[in-house]
Amino acid sequence: MAAGCLLALTLTLFQSLLIGPSSQEPFPSAVTIKSWVDKMQEDLVTLAKTASGVNQLVDIYEKYQDLYTVEPNNARQLVEIAARDIEKLLSNRSKALVVSLTYIPTFYYFPLPIYYLSFMLYLD
């Protein structure tokens, strides 16, 4: 029994000497790591362009370039117009909801539930 344990211990030590600890393996150089990072970044950009269809938009623009005009714009003015339109739509929607909620009791002969009343308070 002792001889078997000694043989197993000897074989294990011999195997560990042949394989060597992983800490002795050389760590990749900074240049190698930088090249890996650059390659991953390039792959991510390619993937994003492919998934978003940017390349197709460029092809469409180049094919039909004579049909498009590119003009400078005022970003602040565009955002203000969009915000005003959104506010107008939300205002119209809230008015329509209030009107429709006021007609519910006339169609149905039961009192207006509490959650309708609390919903109406959040509209304004």
**Tokens 């005022």, located at residue:** 74
Tell me the pLDDT tens digit for each residue of 6-57: 556 565 655 665 565 555 667 888 899 999 999 999 999 888 888 888 888 8
- The answer to whether the CB of 71 falls within 8 A of the CB of 79 is no
In sequence order, which ranges of the chain are alpha helices (DSSP H)? 2-19, 30-52, 54-63, 75-107, 114-123
Residues 120 and 97 in one domain: yes
- The answer to whether the CB of 123 falls within 8 A of the CB of 97 is yes
Q: Which helix (H) or strand (E) holds 122?
A: helix 114-123
64 half-sphere exposure, CB direction, 13 A CA radius: 6
Residues 113 and 102 in one domain: yes
Q: Is residue 5 part of a domain?
A: no
Residues 82 and 105 in one domain: yes
pTM of the full predicted structure? 0.33
Residues 47 and 59 in one domain: yes
Residue 103 pLDDT = 63
Range of 44's domain?
28-71
Segment 82-93 shows an average pLDDT of: 91
Residues 83 and 109 in one domain: yes
